[in-house]
Amino acid sequence: MRRIYLKYFDSAHLSSGENSYRYSHIVCPSIFMGMKTLAFQRDTAKNRVTVACAMGSVSVYSSCAYCRHCQAIKVGERFLPSPQIQALRNLRHQGAADETLMTAGMMFNALVRDGSAVECDDDTSQGFEKLY
């Protein structure tokens, strides 16, 4: 379970009092309990990487890359956020949507090549859902 640290202020005036702010430790199980980790099954003969999804065994390169539920890729001991989801969030602030999404897709393929699992937030077992 992960913790989220929120900063709140004791008073309206930041300079009043000795301790003008405190950290509150709030645990949010509803956000993080739905995530599940799906390990990669690699087939080196066909150069294929699959995971066991609710729909069955699906390709990571063609299905998980464009699925709304794929949130992160496990590389080593760290979970790196999905580049496509980050690109869609940043499209509001930047232009050149085609180029940004193509770069995010190539980055996703590189992370899958080096990674070992996908973090999926499909807690209702719906299966694949289009990202865009």
Query: DSSP of 61-72, one letter per residue?
Result: TTTGGGBTTEEE
- How does pLDDT run across 104-127, given as a tens digit for each residue? 999 999 999 999 999 999 888 888
The secondary element (H helix, E strand) that includes residue 58 is: strand 56-59
| Bridge partner list, 38 | 118
Segment 66-81 mean pLDDT: 92
The predicted structure's pLDDT at residue 20: 43
- How does pLDDT run across 20-59, given as a tens digit for each residue? 444 334 334 334 455 789 999 999 888 899 999 888 899 9
Calpha distance 64→39 (Å, rounded): 12
The predicted structure's pLDDT at residue 129: 87
- How does pLDDT run across 5-18, given as a tens digit for each residue? 444 444 444 444 44
